[in-house]
Structure 1
Amino acid sequence: MSEFVAALPMYDWPEMRSEVDARWARLRDAFRQRGIDAPETIARANGDLPPVPGGIRDGDGMVIAPDPATLPPDELDLHKLWLHPALLFGQTCWGPMELGLAEHVQVVAQPSYDAYEGGQGELYSSALVMPADGGPSVASPDDGAPLIPLDLLRGKRFTFNDTGSMSGFLGLKRDLEAMGESLDLFASRSLSGGHRSSIVAIAEGKADVAAIDCESWALAQRFEPAARHVKVVGWTGRRKGLPLITARTTPEKTVAALREAVAGLR
C-alpha cells in the first residue's frame, strides 16, 4: 500500500465520481511510470487519511492541525487534507493559499479551463447568477475583464460557499473594490457551504445572487436541476484557477516527476 495520499475534491460531485476516478487513474499511472508510489485510489473522507500521532506539524515542529484520526471519519476536512504530510497530489484554491496554506505546500501545476465558458488556459472566472426571469444569460467577456452589474446587485441577498474562496467570495470582493464599491452593497450575506448549495438557495428564493466558478457552473448545468431556475447576469474577472499541490515535504525529485507527468497528460 502506498504511503502517500491523493485527492481531487474540488469538483468531486456525486454525479462526477466515475469521471474523477478515471482522471485519477490516468494521473496515477503516469506517476507510477515515473517511479512514484502513487496510491491506488483517492481519499474522499477523513477516515481515508493516514493517522498523524500528535497532530500535523509545520517545519518548525509546531502543531498546525489535529491528527486526522481524531476527526469525523465520514466527513472530509479540506484544510487537514491540504496540510497532511503524506499529501502527494491534491487540489486547493488560491484563497486558502493566500491565507497561509502556501507556506505548507508546493504547487505542482495549474489546470486548464479552456473547456469552460469563463475560462482561458490556467485562468478562470465566476458566473454571477441570480433568479431566472425569462431573459438570456450574459456571455463571458472575451477579454476576461470583470462584468459586474452594480444596478442588479445592489440591495440583494448575497450567498457564498466560503469566505476563503477566491471564486465564490474574494474575487467578487476585489472586483467590487476596484470599482470603488464593497460587499456592503448587498442587503445581506449568508454562508451556503458550497457552490451547488448557493445555486439551490437562489432557486428556492433564499438568496438573490452568488458567484459560481465557471467549472462548477458547467457542472451545475449538467447535474443540478436548480440551475434551470437561475441565470448568469455577469462575470468576475479572470484569475488563476485551482492549483494542484503536494506537501511541502515532498522531495524535489518527486515534485519534478509529478510536474512532468501532469504536463504529459495535457
Structure 2
Amino acid sequence: MSKFVAALPMYDWPEARGEIDAQWARLRDAFRQRGIDAPDAVIRSNRELPAVPGGIRDGAGKPVAPDPATLPPNELDFHQLWLSPALLFAQTCWGPMELGLAKHVQVVAQPNYDAYEGGQGELYSSALVMAVDGGPSVASPADGKALIPIDLIRAKRFTFNNPDSMSGLIGLTRDLEAMGESLDIFASRGESGGHRSSIVAVAEGRADIAAIDCESWALAQHFEPAAKGVKVVGWTARRKGLPYITARTTPEKIIAAMRDAVVAVERGSEQPLVQRVG
C-alpha cells in the first residue's frame, strides 16, 4: 500500500466520479512507470487521510492543522488534504494559495482549460449567471478580458461558493476594482458552499447572481437540472486555473518525474489534461 495520498476533489461531482477515477488511473500508471509510489485510488473523505498525532506542523514546527483523525470522517476538509504531509498529488485553487497555502506546498503543473468555453490553456474564467429571462447567454470574450454588466448586476443579491475562491469571489472582486467598483454594488452577499449550490440558489430565486468557473459551468450544463434556469450574463477575466500541488516535503526528483508523467498523459489523451510547470 502506498504511503502517499492523492485527490482530484475540485470537479469531483457524483455524476463525474467515473471520469475522475479514470483520470487518476492514467496519472497513477504514468507515475508508477517512473518509479513513484502512487496510491491505487483518490481519497474522498477525512478518514482516508493518514493520522498525524499532535496535528500537522509546518517546517518550523508550528501547528497548522489538527490531526485528520479528529475530523468528521465522512467529510473531506480540503485544507487538511492540502496540508497533509502524505500528499502526493491534488488540486487546489489560487485563492487559498495566495492566502497562505503556497508556503506549505509545491506546484506540480497547471490544468489545461481549452475544452471549456471561457478557458484557454492554463487560464480559466468564470461565467456570471443570473435567472433566465428569455434573452440569450453571453459568449466568452475572445480576448479573455472581463465582461462585467455593471448596470445589470448592481443592487442584486450575490452568492459565492467560498470566501477563498478565486473563481467564485476573488476574481470578480478584482475585476470590479479595476472598473472602479467593489462588491458593495451588490444589495447583499452570501456564501453557498459550492458552485453547484450557487447555481441552484440563483435558479430558485434565493440569489440573483453568481460567478461559476468555466469547468464547473460545463459540468452543471451536463448534470445539474437547475442550470436550465440560469443564463450567462458576463464573464470574469481569464486567470491561472487550479494548480496541481504536492506536499512541501516531496523531493524535487519526484516532482520532476510527476511533471514528465502529466505531460505524457496529456499527449496520450484526446482531451488536454495539463500544462507543464517548471
Return the TM-score normalized by structure 2.
Answer: 0.95
Structure 2: how far apart are the matches of 1:71 and 1:157? 33
Task: Spell out the pairing of 1:101-180 with structure 2 (5 A cutoff).
Answer: 101-180=101-180
What displacement does 1:211 show? 0.2
1:4 maps to 2:18: no
SS at match of 1:189: strand
Structure 2: how far apart are the matches of 1:208 and 1:251? 47
What displacement does 1:125 show? 0.2
What displacement does 1:263 show? 1.1
Q: Deviations over 1:150-208 (max 9, x none)?
A: 01100000000011000000000000000000000000000000000000000110000
Structure 2: how far apart are the matches of 1:68 and 1:168? 27
Counterpart residue number, 2:209 = 209
Structure 1: how far apart are the matches of 2:201 and 2:217? 14
Counterpart residue number, 1:93 = 93
Q: Which amino acid aligns with 1:17?
A: R
Counterpart residue number, 1:34 = 34
Counterpart residue number, 1:24 = 24
Structure 1: how far apart are the matches of 2:16 and 2:76? 17
After superposing on structure 2, the runs of 4+ consecutive aligned residues of structure 1 that deviate more than 4 Å are: none
SS at match of 1:121: coil
Counterpart residue number, 2:257 = 257
Counterpart residue number, 1:46 = 46
What displacement does 1:134 show? 1.0
Q: Which amino acid aligns with 1:264?
A: A
Q: Which amino acid aligns with 1:251?
A: P
Structure 2: how far apart are the matches of 1:222 and 1:36? 35
1:182 maps to 2:165: no
SS at match of 2:111: coil
Q: Which amino acid aligns with 1:95?
A: G
Counterpart residue number, 1:231 = 231
Q: Which amino acid aligns with 1:42?
A: V
Q: Which amino acid aligns with 1:248?
A: R
What residue ranges of structure 2 are gaps of 5+ in the alignment? Answer: 267-278
Structure 1: how far apart are the matches of 2:134 and 2:39? 48
Structure 2: how far apart are the matches of 1:204 and 1:159? 12
Q: Which amino acid aligns with 1:165?
A: S
Q: Which amino acid aligns with 2:215?
A: E
Structure 2: how far apart are the matches of 1:244 and 1:22? 17
Return the TM-score normalized by structure 1.
Answer: 1.00
Counterpart residue number, 1:219 = 219
Structure 1: how far apart are the matches of 2:261 and 2:9? 20
Counterpart residue number, 2:272 = none
Structure 2: how far apart are the matches of 1:256 and 1:52? 27
Aligned positions, number: 266
SS at match of 1:110: strand
Q: Deviations over 1:24-72 (max 9, x none)?
A: 0000000000000100010100001010111001000111000000000
Q: Which amino acid aligns with 1:140?
A: S
What displacement does 1:253 show? 0.4
Counterpart residue number, 2:78 = 78
Q: Which amino acid aligns with 1:150?
A: I
Percent identity between the two aligned chains: 79
SS at match of 1:47: helix
Structure 2: how far apart are the matches of 1:24 and 1:245? 14
Structure 1: how far apart are the matches of 2:21 and 2:211? 27
Structure 2: how far apart are the matches of 1:83 and 1:160? 24
Structure 2: how far apart are the matches of 1:263 and 1:103? 25
